[in-house]
Protein backbone atom coordinates (compact mmCIF):
# COMPACT_ATOMS: atom_id res chain seq x y z
CA UNK A 1 0.00 0.00 0.00
CA UNK A 2 1.37 3.39 -1.01
CA UNK A 3 0.68 6.82 0.47
CA UNK A 4 -0.52 8.96 -2.43
CA UNK A 5 -1.38 12.61 -2.75
CA UNK A 6 -3.69 13.42 -5.65
CA UNK A 7 -4.32 16.93 -6.98
CA UNK A 8 -7.21 17.50 -9.38
CA UNK A 9 -10.36 15.43 -8.90
CA UNK A 10 -12.15 16.14 -12.16
CA UNK A 11 -13.82 13.66 -14.50
CA UNK A 12 -10.67 11.57 -14.98
CA UNK A 13 -8.76 12.30 -11.77
CA UNK A 14 -11.64 11.33 -9.51
CA UNK A 15 -12.06 7.97 -11.21
CA UNK A 16 -8.33 7.32 -10.95
CA UNK A 17 -8.53 7.93 -7.22
CA UNK A 18 -11.45 5.52 -6.96
CA UNK A 19 -9.35 2.79 -8.60
CA UNK A 20 -6.38 3.50 -6.32
CA UNK A 21 -8.63 3.28 -3.25
CA UNK A 22 -10.00 -0.04 -4.52
CA UNK A 23 -6.41 -1.30 -4.72
CA UNK A 24 -5.92 -0.47 -1.04
CA UNK A 25 -3.78 2.66 -1.33
CA UNK A 26 -4.09 5.54 1.12
CA UNK A 27 -5.02 8.67 -0.85
CA UNK A 28 -5.13 12.30 0.27
CA UNK A 29 -6.86 14.23 -2.50
CA UNK A 30 -7.20 17.94 -3.21
CA UNK A 31 -9.79 19.65 -5.36
CA UNK A 32 -10.79 23.32 -5.47
CA UNK A 33 -14.41 22.33 -4.79
CA UNK A 34 -14.62 19.96 -1.84
CA UNK A 35 -18.25 19.04 -2.56
CA UNK A 36 -17.23 17.36 -5.82
CA UNK A 37 -14.88 15.11 -3.85
CA UNK A 38 -17.45 13.99 -1.29
CA UNK A 39 -18.15 10.66 -3.01
CA UNK A 40 -14.43 9.84 -2.78
CA UNK A 41 -14.29 10.91 0.87
CA UNK A 42 -17.18 8.49 1.44
CA UNK A 43 -15.00 5.77 -0.14
CA UNK A 44 -12.14 6.46 2.28
CA UNK A 45 -10.12 9.24 0.66
CA UNK A 46 -8.71 11.84 3.03
CA UNK A 47 -9.36 15.39 1.84
CA UNK A 48 -6.25 17.58 1.59
CA UNK A 49 -6.78 21.31 2.12
CA UNK A 50 -4.17 22.34 -0.46
CA UNK A 51 -1.85 20.89 -3.11
CA UNK A 52 0.97 21.34 -0.60
CA UNK A 53 -0.89 19.32 2.01
CA UNK A 54 -1.49 16.52 -0.51
CA UNK A 55 2.22 16.40 -1.36
CA UNK A 56 3.37 16.61 2.26
CA UNK A 57 1.23 13.62 3.21
CA UNK A 58 2.53 11.30 0.54
CA UNK A 59 5.48 9.52 -1.00
CA UNK A 60 3.90 9.86 -4.45
CA UNK A 61 1.99 12.92 -5.62
CA UNK A 62 -0.18 12.49 -8.72
CA UNK A 63 -1.87 15.38 -10.50
CA UNK A 64 -4.39 15.77 -13.31
CA UNK A 65 -5.42 19.34 -14.18
CA UNK A 66 -6.88 21.07 -17.21
CA UNK A 67 -4.05 23.08 -18.78
CA UNK A 68 -0.64 24.73 -18.34
CA UNK A 69 -2.03 27.64 -16.31
CA UNK A 70 -3.75 25.23 -13.91
CA UNK A 71 -0.55 23.22 -13.51
CA UNK A 72 1.42 26.35 -12.64
CA UNK A 73 -1.31 27.32 -10.16
CA UNK A 74 -1.11 24.04 -8.24
CA UNK A 75 2.70 23.93 -8.40
CA UNK A 76 3.80 27.36 -7.26
CA UNK A 77 3.31 29.46 -4.13
CA UNK A 78 3.24 28.66 -0.41
CA UNK A 79 0.37 26.19 -0.84
CA UNK A 80 1.66 24.57 -4.04
CA UNK A 81 2.94 21.07 -4.68
CA UNK A 82 6.55 22.26 -4.86
CA UNK A 83 6.31 23.55 -1.28
CA UNK A 84 5.18 20.12 -0.11
CA UNK A 85 7.94 18.09 -1.73
CA UNK A 86 11.03 16.79 0.08
CA UNK A 87 14.02 14.59 -0.82
CA UNK A 88 12.98 11.17 -2.08
CA UNK A 89 9.41 12.14 -2.95
CA UNK A 90 8.02 11.75 -6.48
CA UNK A 91 5.58 13.86 -8.45
CA UNK A 92 3.81 12.33 -11.45
CA UNK A 93 1.85 14.86 -13.50
CA UNK A 94 -0.70 13.35 -15.88
CA UNK A 95 -2.03 16.63 -17.30
CA UNK A 96 -1.71 17.45 -20.99
CA UNK A 97 0.31 20.66 -20.92
CA UNK A 98 3.25 22.38 -22.58
CA UNK A 99 6.30 20.07 -22.63
CA UNK A 100 8.54 23.08 -21.92
CA UNK A 101 6.57 23.97 -18.79
CA UNK A 102 6.71 20.39 -17.55
CA UNK A 103 10.49 20.22 -18.06
CA UNK A 104 10.94 23.51 -16.19
CA UNK A 105 8.90 22.22 -13.25
CA UNK A 106 10.88 18.97 -13.21
CA UNK A 107 14.07 21.00 -12.83
CA UNK A 108 12.58 22.84 -9.83
CA UNK A 109 11.47 19.54 -8.29
CA UNK A 110 15.00 18.13 -8.55
CA UNK A 111 16.41 21.19 -6.81
CA UNK A 112 14.43 19.99 -3.77
CA UNK A 113 15.90 16.48 -3.95
CA UNK A 114 12.63 15.03 -5.27
CA UNK A 115 11.86 13.87 -8.80
CA UNK A 116 9.13 14.37 -11.38
CA UNK A 117 7.74 12.57 -14.40
CA UNK A 118 5.23 13.64 -17.03
CA UNK A 119 2.85 10.73 -17.57
CA UNK A 120 -0.25 11.64 -19.57
CA UNK A 121 -2.81 8.96 -20.35
CA UNK A 122 -4.58 7.67 -23.42
CA UNK A 123 -8.23 6.79 -23.11
CA UNK A 124 -11.59 8.11 -22.00
CA UNK A 125 -13.88 7.88 -19.00
CA UNK A 126 -15.19 4.58 -20.33
CA UNK A 127 -11.66 3.26 -20.94
CA UNK A 128 -10.69 4.20 -17.39
CA UNK A 129 -13.76 2.60 -15.84
CA UNK A 130 -13.10 -0.58 -17.84
CA UNK A 131 -9.52 -0.69 -16.54
CA UNK A 132 -8.01 -0.14 -20.00
CA UNK A 133 -6.38 3.26 -19.59
CA UNK A 134 -2.76 3.41 -20.80
CA UNK A 135 0.14 5.61 -19.67
CA UNK A 136 3.08 7.13 -21.51
CA UNK A 137 5.80 8.27 -19.12
CA UNK A 138 8.94 10.39 -19.38
CA UNK A 139 11.74 11.23 -16.97
CA UNK A 140 14.44 9.22 -15.29
CA UNK A 141 14.20 5.46 -15.96
CA UNK A 142 14.67 4.58 -12.30
CA UNK A 143 11.82 6.91 -11.32
CA UNK A 144 9.59 5.21 -13.87
CA UNK A 145 10.29 1.85 -12.27
CA UNK A 146 9.24 3.22 -8.88
CA UNK A 147 5.92 4.63 -10.08
CA UNK A 148 5.05 2.01 -12.68
CA UNK A 149 3.20 -0.25 -10.19
CA UNK A 150 0.85 2.62 -9.33
CA UNK A 151 0.16 3.25 -12.99
CA UNK A 152 -0.62 -0.43 -13.48
CA UNK A 153 -3.10 -0.24 -10.60
CA UNK A 154 -5.02 2.27 -12.74
CA UNK A 155 -4.59 0.72 -16.20
CA UNK A 156 -2.89 -2.25 -17.90
CA UNK A 157 -0.04 -0.55 -19.79
CA UNK A 158 2.64 2.02 -18.97
CA UNK A 159 5.27 2.77 -21.61
CA UNK A 160 8.50 4.65 -20.94
CA UNK A 161 9.22 7.02 -23.85
CA UNK A 162 12.33 8.95 -22.79
CA UNK A 163 13.44 12.17 -21.10
CA UNK A 164 11.13 14.67 -19.39
CA UNK A 165 8.66 16.28 -21.77
CA UNK A 166 8.64 13.50 -24.34
CA UNK A 167 5.57 11.78 -22.89
CA UNK A 168 3.70 15.03 -23.43
CA UNK A 169 4.94 15.16 -27.00
CA UNK A 170 3.63 11.62 -27.45
CA UNK A 171 0.26 12.54 -25.92
CA UNK A 172 -0.07 15.58 -28.18
CA UNK A 173 0.80 13.39 -31.18
CA UNK A 174 -1.91 10.97 -30.08
CA UNK A 175 -4.67 13.47 -29.42
CA UNK A 176 -4.43 15.29 -32.73
CA UNK A 177 -5.66 12.07 -34.37
CA UNK A 178 -8.83 11.93 -32.28
CA UNK A 179 -10.44 14.97 -33.89
CA UNK A 180 -9.49 13.94 -37.41
CA UNK A 181 -11.03 10.51 -36.81
CA UNK A 182 -14.18 12.10 -35.40
CA UNK A 183 -14.49 14.51 -38.32
CA UNK A 184 -14.02 11.76 -40.92
CA UNK A 185 -16.56 9.57 -39.09
CA UNK A 186 -19.03 12.47 -39.07
CA UNK A 187 -18.54 12.99 -42.80
CA UNK A 188 -19.29 9.32 -43.43
CA UNK A 189 -22.44 9.31 -41.29
CA UNK A 190 -23.80 12.47 -42.93
CA UNK A 191 -22.98 11.27 -46.44
CA UNK A 192 -24.95 8.08 -45.75
CA UNK A 193 -27.79 9.91 -44.03
CA UNK A 194 -28.33 12.47 -46.79
CA UNK A 195 -28.34 9.64 -49.31
CA UNK A 196 -31.25 7.95 -47.52
CA UNK A 197 -29.70 5.66 -44.89
CA UNK A 198 -30.92 6.04 -41.32
CA UNK A 199 -28.36 7.69 -39.04
CA UNK A 200 -28.61 4.83 -36.55
CA UNK A 201 -27.87 2.31 -39.32
CA UNK A 202 -24.88 4.29 -40.56
CA UNK A 203 -23.46 4.47 -37.03
CA UNK A 204 -24.00 0.75 -36.51
CA UNK A 205 -22.18 -0.13 -39.73
CA UNK A 206 -19.27 2.29 -39.29
CA UNK A 207 -18.61 1.41 -35.65
CA UNK A 208 -18.26 -2.24 -36.66
CA UNK A 209 -16.25 -1.67 -39.82
CA UNK A 210 -12.58 -1.48 -40.77
CA UNK A 211 -12.43 2.17 -39.64
CA UNK A 212 -13.71 1.41 -36.13
CA UNK A 213 -10.81 2.40 -33.89
CA UNK A 214 -11.46 2.15 -30.14
CA UNK A 215 -12.21 5.89 -30.13
CA UNK A 216 -14.73 5.57 -32.98
CA UNK A 217 -16.38 2.64 -31.22
CA UNK A 218 -17.01 4.47 -27.96
CA UNK A 219 -17.46 8.03 -29.25
CA UNK A 220 -19.21 7.33 -32.56
CA UNK A 221 -22.59 6.71 -30.87
CA UNK A 222 -22.40 10.27 -29.49
CA UNK A 223 -23.74 11.46 -32.86
CA UNK A 224 -27.00 9.80 -31.83
CA UNK A 225 -27.03 11.09 -28.24
CA UNK A 226 -24.42 13.29 -26.61
CA UNK A 227 -23.43 12.41 -23.03
CA UNK A 228 -24.92 14.47 -20.21
CA UNK A 229 -21.37 15.22 -19.01
CA UNK A 230 -18.67 15.88 -21.62
CA UNK A 231 -15.90 13.32 -21.48
CA UNK A 232 -13.52 15.79 -23.16
CA UNK A 233 -15.06 19.10 -24.11
CA UNK A 234 -14.38 21.41 -27.05
CA UNK A 235 -12.23 23.82 -25.02
CA UNK A 236 -10.06 21.01 -23.68
CA UNK A 237 -9.54 19.45 -27.09
CA UNK A 238 -8.79 22.80 -28.71
CA UNK A 239 -6.16 23.36 -26.03
CA UNK A 240 -4.49 20.12 -27.11
CA UNK A 241 -4.68 21.00 -30.80
CA UNK A 242 -3.10 24.36 -29.97
CA UNK A 243 -0.22 22.53 -28.30
CA UNK A 244 0.12 20.34 -31.39
CA UNK A 245 0.14 23.28 -33.78
CA UNK A 246 2.73 25.08 -31.64
CA UNK A 247 4.93 21.99 -31.58
CA UNK A 248 4.48 21.50 -35.32
CA UNK A 249 5.79 24.99 -35.97
CA UNK A 250 8.70 24.42 -33.59
CA UNK A 251 9.88 21.16 -35.20
CA UNK A 252 8.76 22.12 -38.73
CA UNK A 253 6.14 19.41 -39.26
CA UNK A 254 3.04 20.45 -41.27
CA UNK A 255 -0.23 19.49 -39.56
CA UNK A 256 -2.94 20.20 -42.16
CA UNK A 257 -5.64 17.93 -40.75
CA UNK A 258 -5.02 19.26 -37.24
CA UNK A 259 -5.44 22.84 -38.49
CA UNK A 260 -8.70 21.93 -40.24
CA UNK A 261 -10.10 20.20 -37.15
CA UNK A 262 -9.12 23.21 -35.06
CA UNK A 263 -11.33 25.40 -37.29
CA UNK A 264 -14.29 23.07 -36.76
CA UNK A 265 -13.78 23.45 -33.01
CA UNK A 266 -13.67 27.23 -33.52
CA UNK A 267 -17.03 26.91 -35.28
CA UNK A 268 -18.39 24.84 -32.38
CA UNK A 269 -17.42 27.57 -29.94
CA UNK A 270 -19.02 30.14 -32.23
CA UNK A 271 -22.25 28.14 -32.02
CA UNK A 272 -22.08 28.13 -28.21
CA UNK A 273 -21.17 24.42 -28.02
CA UNK A 274 -17.84 24.71 -26.22
CA UNK A 275 -19.00 22.80 -23.11
CA UNK A 276 -20.05 19.79 -25.20
CA UNK A 277 -17.83 16.77 -25.82
CA UNK A 278 -15.64 17.39 -28.86
CA UNK A 279 -17.79 14.84 -30.74
CA UNK A 280 -20.07 17.85 -31.22
CA UNK A 281 -18.00 18.40 -34.37
CA UNK A 282 -20.72 16.23 -35.92
CA UNK A 283 -23.33 18.87 -35.08
CA UNK A 284 -21.21 21.58 -36.73
CA UNK A 285 -20.88 19.56 -39.93
CA UNK A 286 -24.54 18.56 -39.73
CA UNK A 287 -25.67 22.19 -39.68
CA UNK A 288 -23.37 22.96 -42.58
CA UNK A 289 -24.95 20.02 -44.46
CA UNK A 290 -28.50 21.15 -43.81
CA UNK A 291 -29.30 18.04 -41.80
CA UNK A 292 -31.57 18.43 -38.76
CA UNK A 293 -31.50 16.20 -35.71
Rounded alpha-carbon distances, angstroms, from residue 243 to 30, 37, 81, 184: 26, 29, 24, 22
The number of residues in the chain equals: 293
Q: What is the DSSP letter of 45?
A: P
Identify whether 171 is a catalytic site residue.
yes
The residues, any chain, with a CB within 8 Å of residue 63's CB and separated by 6 or more, are 6, 7, 8, 13, 51, 71, 74, 81, 91, 92, 93, 94, 95
Q: Answer whether 183's CB lies under 8 Å from 261's CB.
A: yes
Q: Answer whether 51's CB lies under 8 Å from 7's CB.
A: yes
At 5, which helix (H) or strand (E)?
A: strand 3-7
Active-site position among 89, 103, 171, 239: 171
Catalytic residues: 171
Amino acid sequence: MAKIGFVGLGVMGSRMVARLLEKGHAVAGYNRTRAKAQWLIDKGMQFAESPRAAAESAEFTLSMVTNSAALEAIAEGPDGVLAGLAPGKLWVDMSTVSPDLSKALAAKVREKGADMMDAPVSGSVLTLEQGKLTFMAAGRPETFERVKPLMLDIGPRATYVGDNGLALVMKIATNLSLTSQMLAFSEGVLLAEKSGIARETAVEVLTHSAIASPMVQYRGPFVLKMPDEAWFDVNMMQKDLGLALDLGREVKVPLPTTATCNEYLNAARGMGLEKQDFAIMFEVLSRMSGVSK
